[in-house]
Chains A and B, each alone.
Chain A
Amino acid sequence: DSGVTQTPKHLITATGQRVTLRCSPRSGDLSVYWYQQSLDQGLQFLIQYYNGEERAKGNILERFSAQQFPDLHSELNLSSLELGDSALYFCASSGGYQGDTQYFGPGTRLTVL
């Protein structure tokens, strides 16, 4: 158990809908990272937050947004969903914002029908 929790575990929705994925980092970790993993793309970095502020952005679509709250939990919002958004979404956390080992949550499996 990494200490990172993600909810929900599974999510099935229709195209055009909006969903919110939630992540609670390990106790004491200030950084939260979001990744998307699909069969054809591997693990892709989406975005990083550190202590409530956005720190780095990767291959995140404009339809996606994220935030980190004062209690350090984070939410990833996916809107106008398309079939291609079906994937595993992982949250990871680390203590610092640079050069740290990342601890991954169990993931949320999103299926868009």
Chain B
Amino acid sequence: SQKIEQNSEALNIQEGKTATLTCNYTNYSPAYLQWYRQDPGRGPVFLLLIRENEKEKRKERLKVTFDTTLKQSLFHITASQPADSATYLCAADRGSTLGRLYFGRGTQLTVWP
């Protein structure tokens, strides 16, 4: 069955550094990947979407890449701040499944001063 895996459950980095989160998928080829941020007790908030024919997407301090050979997406936060501390979820869709998103378990990022 289709699988979305985020290898790290937790990532701790110092303020100002670049955080890099990994998302791998197996057993299928998603049409696109999405990244969401989730704060404790709140709903996920959409950050970025990258399609299978795109290598890289940027939005302010965020960058996401999509490597269909490695079956992997990397999510980068540059110049990280304590306010970036949250859980980041990777989600993938397959167009034929009508908008259904498969979510990874998430990576909890902590940025310390």
A residues in contact (CB < 8 Å) with B: 2, 4, 31, 33, 35, 42-45, 48, 50, 55-56, 58, 88, 90, 92, 94, 96-107, 109
Contacting A at CB under 8 A, from B23-41, are: 31-32, 34, 36, 41
B99 touches A103 (CB 8 A): no
Known contacts: A103-B46, A106-B42, A106-B43. The answer to whether A42 contacts B104 by CB under 8 A is yes
A2 touches B45 (CB 8 A): yes
A58 touches B100 (CB 8 A): yes
What are the residues of chain B within 8 A of A31 when measuring CB–CB? Answer: 99
How many A-B pairs with Cβ below 8 Å? 68
A sample of 8 inter-chain contacts (CB < 8 A) reads: A2-B43, A45-B102, A55-B98, A56-B100, A90-B44, A99-B99, A101-B49, A104-B45
Report the bound CA distance from A107 to B98 in whole Å.
Answer: 23
Does more than half of chain A's interface fall in helix, strand or loop, or is it mixed?
Answer: strand
Report the bound CA distance from A100 to B105 in whole Å.
Answer: 20
B46 touches A102 (CB 8 A): yes
Does more than half of chain B's interface fall in helix, strand or loop, or is it mixed?
Answer: mixed
B101 touches A45 (CB 8 A): yes
Report the bound CA distance from A44 to B32 in whole Å.
Answer: 19
What are the residues of chain A within 8 A of B34 when measuring CB–CB? Answer: 101
B32 touches A99 (CB 8 A): yes
Q: Considering only CB atoms, which chain A residue lies closest to B43 in the complex? A: A104
Contact partner, B93, options A2, A50, A58, A99, Cβ 8 Å: A99
B95 touches A90 (CB 8 A): no
What are the residues of chain B within 8 A of A94 when measuring CB–CB? Answer: 99
- Minimum CB–CB distance from A105 to chain B (whole Å) comes to 5
- Minimum CB–CB distance from A20 to chain B (whole Å) comes to 19
What are the residues of chain A within 8 A of B41 when measuring CB–CB? Answer: 88, 107, 109
Asked whether B89 is an interface residue with its Cβ less than 8 Å from the other chain, the reply is: yes
Report the bound CA distance from A33 to B36 in whole Å.
Answer: 16
A56 touches B99 (CB 8 A): yes
- Minimum CB–CB distance from A31 to chain B (whole Å) comes to 6
